[in-house]
Amino acid sequence: MTSKERAQFRAQANTLEPLFQIGKGGFSQALVDQTADALRKRELIKLKVLLDSAPESPREFADKLADATGSEVIQVVGGSIVLYKEKTEEDEKKKKPAKKGKPLSRVKAKRAAAAKREAAEKKEKRDFYARKRAAERRQNGKSAAKSK
């Protein structure tokens, strides 16, 4: 990777929020699996190392994660780590198919219906007050015309 590419990725990473925090649990297989999964979905990710409780330095975590996931370390600044891994055809094939047509559970259906009702009530209330304000404006306009 060239320095220009690395600089471009650093610029992109500025706006990213950290996906994971590494703390006193340190380096584990679960962390590697989650990081690898995140890199499959997004090519560029940011991680946060909690400096007070982490057993190792952020640079050591970055190097270990890069080796374990096959990614590249773009940047380590303070407690932030930025990793990059280019998507491959295998990653595209591993995407989970979207679920289609799965019926909602009763609880979810009730929640959806309640949210719909609530939205309709808000709209009705908003419309009521808009009509009321319009009527007041008309009334004020008529009284102003009469006084002239």
Give the distance from CA 138 to its chain's centroid. Answer: 47
Neighbours of 115 (CB within 10 A): 10
Residues 56-114 have pLDDT tens digits of 899 999 999 999 999 999 999 999 999 999 887 766 666 666 566 666 678 888 888 89
The CA R_g of the chain, rounded to the nearest whole Å, is 27
Give the distance from CA 134 to its chain's centroid. Answer: 41
Structure-block tokens of residue 27: 């380096």
Q: Is the pTM of this model over 0.85?
A: no
Structure-block tokens of residue 7: 């600089």
Structure-block tokens of residue 105: 């559970």
71: left (phi over 0), alpha (psi -120 to 50) or beta: beta
| Alpha-carbon span 67 to 42, nearest angstrom | 18
Structure-block tokens of residue 9: 């990725």
Please give the pLDDT value at position 141. 75
